[in-house]
Amino acid sequence: MQKGKLWILGLVAVFVLTAAGESYFEVNKNLELFSSFYKELLSNYADPVDQEKVVKSGIDAMLASLDPYTTYIPESDMANYKFQTTGKYGGIGATVRDLGDYIVIAEPYEGFPAQKAGLKAGDAIISIDGTDCKGKSVDDISHFLKGPAGSIINITIQRPGQKDLLSIPLQREEIHLNAVSYAGILDGQIGYIRFTQFTDNSARDLERALNQLKKENSAIKGWILDLRGNPGGLLTEAVDVTNLFVPKNSSIVSTRGRKPSSTKMFKALNEPFDENTPLVVLTARNSASASEIVAGAIQDLDRGIIVGQRSFGKGLVQTTFPLTGLRAQVKITTAKYYTPSGRCIQALDYSHRNVDGSVDKVADSLKHAFQTMKGRTVYDGGGIEPDAAVTAKEYSQLLSVLVAKNLLFEYATQYVLNHPVIGSVKDWQWNKIADLEQFLQTRSFTYEATAESEIALLEKKAKENGEQELLEELKAFKASLHRSLHESLQENKSELSELLSTEIASRYALQKGRFQNALQFDADIKEATRLLKDKSAYEQLLQLKK
């Protein structure tokens, strides 16, 4: 019973912390209700009660009525939470993915134990320290691979193309993922930086990358800060990142919540790295939170232009609180944040749920107009709208199926076995459609478009109902839609070339090779580069529309 009491004490702490200014009568009444219910459940339920599981379910149900960012972090998840905020963990430095009976190495990180020990993408993890890994999940294997820096781990792998198993000892290290996953100079004059996370000291990573590019070319004419796919992180790091490009004392973001202590203004405290060189920030639908703080500030201060797609729309701020007596924490939404012009870009209104529990986006009719420093009109309630929109690439159903079934990943592994070198990855392009078709045939791959699948269901119902005329019509329609695998691959060869070029390039030059190769296909980067090279077009986007 002691364990159950401990959980309740933790819940009491949460209620008391959040009850300031509220009616203590209501708080105590609800706590008494929860405590009485819990006590009766433990005393009278027919079977033994897993107390930890029951209380965890109760907490999850409580939080489900709020927003998805207010979460309980049990002790078992603290390591993952630490990684999200610091970018550090103890492990071997590799991503893994599910592929059949075994989890395989997806990509080793350059300079860390996995890469130094010779692990390669496609290596199947057969066992770890003698534990059979067949049927284990990605989470299981990730847990096994992590551990204190300096500890030894023995991994047995099956390498594609080799008959014998390989036993590889590795010494775990503290893995620190640099927030800058790639930096380079485009067209000899544009500094490009892929920025992937807002963790501790990520702004410092960015500043180092900026300085290095400036050393390589002191005459850089423009910067591209790529925040696509960046889910955000620490608000303070977003402020420091923005500070690298805006004048000292500039207002960057403010927060406002129910408690007076959550109302704050964050300004640029330092002299910037570069406040004058033209700047483009790339955003996409999965750019969120801290990414949107940076993009919103750059846009509102008219420091640069936003290119790409509308961002995610997360304008909520979370604060983490320890639970008394427990090695666990709760992360609570304590405020909303506002860009320098005063807008909150939160897209979903979690405070007003529908009867079925669903949440609606803020309607266009409810959005408000704000002005940037130069008087340009921007809007709240739905993410950061780009100044120069680029249509997001939508891949075909065929490619989605091939990716979901890991067939392109497997093909890339086989391709590397048959091609020891490919030359420079920067401009290399894959174009062996016939080779891919042959590989898919060996995997007995069949492709059926969504329309054909739906027709098959209609045919089944028509047969059951004896509707012969309808069956004939469906048969004719299906024949008109049918495409052979050969025809489908030919129709999608451009997209296939893009995906396989970058995947295969990563096998020879890891993440750096992936990003270098992908640049040649990237419509957002091409548009950003065009605007930075065309001073008139760039400046026109920063002017008031007449």
| Given the residues 123, 300, 380, 387, the one annotated as active site | 300
| Distance in angstroms (rounded) separating the CA atoms of residues 274 and 271 | 9
Strand pairing class (88-91; 173-176): antiparallel
Give yes or no: 435 in active site. no
> What token pair was written down for 298?
């750059």
CB-facing half-sphere around the CA of 333: CA atoms within 13 A: 17
Active site residue 259: no
Helix (H) / strand (E) containing 169: strand 166-171
Tokens of 402: 């091939």
Asked if 174 and 149 count as a contact pair (C-beta separation under 8 A), the reply is: yes
Catalytic residue list contains 358 = no
User: Rounded CA gap, 141 and 89, in Å?
Assistant: 15
Distance CA 433, CA 484 (A): 14
Long-range contacts of 453-457 (CB under 8 A, 24+ apart): 455/481
Exactly one of 120, 136, 146, 314 is catalytic; name it: 314
Rounded CA separation 356/201 (Å): 42
Q: Residue 401 to residues 101, 395, 450: CA-CA distances in angstroms?
A: 19, 10, 11
Is 282 in contact with 227 (CB distance < 8 Å)?
Answer: yes
- Nearest residue to 538 via CA among 403, 392, 383, 387: 387
**Quick one: CA dihedral 236, 242, 243, 249, positive or negative?**
negative
Catalytic residue, chosen from 127, 181, 289, 506, is: 289
What are the catalytic residues? 289, 300, 314
